[in-house]
Structure 1
Amino acid sequence: MQPADATPPIIRTPWAETHELLRDYYDTEWGRPVTTDQGIFERLSLEAFQSGLSWLTILKRREGFRAAFDDFDYHRVATYTDLDVERLLEDTRIIRNRAKIQATIGNARAAVALEDEGGLAELVWSFKPEQTPMPHTMADVPSQSPESVALSKELRRRGFRFVGPVTMFALMEAVGIVDTHIMTSHLRGVSGVWER
């Protein structure tokens, strides 16, 4: 039996225990609210590049992505030309996938177009559900939700690409819109958006 003043054990989601970069990301960033347009654009872009790959692959290249895409300043990315696409296809710091690079540029333009209606962050956060999952095991964590399906449809309608329902649910987890930390995690409720 632990003393009453003992520090509670650190219990992480299992994927966070597989690599130091994942552990640090989980402990310091994942699931915490991101509410700026640039912050959402960065996460949306990284989730798109992650499609079909592991998140660890993206984390290892994150600083390279930031350098290659002007720190995800979507106003600047929106001005990229075919020359920039070719430049990015030669950049070994990132995932060199033409379709994903072109989608990121197109998504930046779509994000600029949203500014007259409140912006990308406001749109994404408008799909916050009334309740968040309460998983006890990883098997309880859904891969999508009605809200992520609706967000995906709305973003596609507005010209965004690589924004499928599963990718959008991962985005919602990453930026604190839903809390899928397992119930025994020391970080359950860390976003402040949802009660523990």
Structure 2
Amino acid sequence: MRRFAEIEKQAAARKGGPKALKALLPEVKPAAELRSIPDDRWLAAMTRGIFQSGFSWKVIENKWPGFEAAFHRFEPGRNALMSDEELDALTRDARIVRNAQKIASVRENAGFLLDLAREHGSAAACFADWPNQDFAGLLALLKKRGSRMGGNTGPYMLRTMGRDSYILTRDVTAALIREGVIDKPPGGAKAMAAVQAAFNAWAAESGHGLAAISRILALSVDDPE
């Protein structure tokens, strides 16, 4: 595993220099700003990510006002109490994409967010205050207790909301394999622990957050993240 300064220099050379590379780094919101985001917006982001997965993002974007209306502006308490009859009716609602399993995930994730709110004061506080040094633990939480939030759906949701995060895209994974952190796409706890340890070491060395390290890794290979 090389020092991150070498990887960053490689990425900068590919993208036109340090200034050009810096312009490509993701925007990250401070924890205080993340904590102020209402939990309904977290449920909306989770739902958008789930419905975009394997589907046309443009279609979801065009239908999004219908999603907001159909799911009561994503208020967690209201969605957690949806009856089976209401869910069934939504499978025939032309305002949204009528995928029964993804529709059901809204109710399940609403309940998940309510549980986080009871445990942490708000779901937003949980996401904002979770330590970067155990980001893999946050991803494991989303996968275990959320609905359809495994793979890259959870990390993309967090990145969309401005939470400092790494995403194990094809290019990030290729860079991690190149650096000897892992030998194949990570699929278990041991591999994720190795990924987390590498990010922690590079963060301590460079002063960069997880999102910046993730993007720089991606930009150090042929295809961008």
User: Shorter-chain-normalised TM-score: which range?
Assistant: 0.5 to 0.7
Displacement of 1:53 after TM fit?
A: 1.5
Q: Secondary structure at the match of 1:101?
A: helix
What does 1:83-162 correspond to in 2, within 5 Å?
83-118=85-120, 119-127=122-130, 129=132, 147=135, 149-158=136-145, 160-162=146-148
Contact 1:128–1:177 under 8 Å retained in 2: no
Name which of structure 1's ranges 66-75 and 46-55 shifts more when overlaid on structure 2: 46-55
Structure 2, gaps ≥5 residues long? 1-22, 167-211, 213-225
What does 1:49-60 correspond to in 2, within 5 Å?
49-60=51-62
What does 1:72-91 correspond to in 2, within 5 Å?
72-91=74-93
Displacement of 1:123 after TM fit?
A: 1.7
Whole-Å Cα distance in 2 between the matches of residues 151 and 97 of structure 1?
27
Pick the structure with more helix per residue.
Answer: 2
Count of aligned residue pairs for this structure pair: 141
Opposite residue 76 of structure 2, the aligned amino acid is Y
Whole-Å Cα distance in 1 between the matches of residues 75 and 41 of structure 2?
9
Report the RMSD for the aligned CA atoms in angstroms.
3.0
Contact 1:85–1:101 under 8 Å retained in 2: yes
Structure 1, gaps ≥5 residues long? 1-11, 14-29, 131-145, 181-193
Q: Secondary structure at the match of 1:53?
A: coil
Displacement of 1:31 after TM fit?
A: 6.4
Q: Verify: 1:169 aligned to 2:155, yes or no.
A: yes
Q: Whose radius of gyration is greater, 1 or 2?
A: 2
TM-score by length of 1: 0.61
Contact 1:61–1:94 under 8 Å retained in 2: yes
Displacement of 1:61 after TM fit?
A: 1.0
Contact 2:40–2:75 under 8 Å retained in 1: yes
Q: Secondary structure at the match of 1:164?
A: coil
Residue identity (%): 26
Displacement of 1:178 after TM fit?
A: 3.0
Counterpart of 1:63 in structure 2 is 65
Contact 1:151–1:168 under 8 Å retained in 2: no
Contact 2:142–2:154 under 8 Å retained in 1: no
Q: Secondary structure at the match of 1:45?
A: helix
CA distance change for structure 1 residues 113 and 63 in 2, over 3 Å: closer, same or farther?
same
Contact 1:151–1:165 under 8 Å retained in 2: no
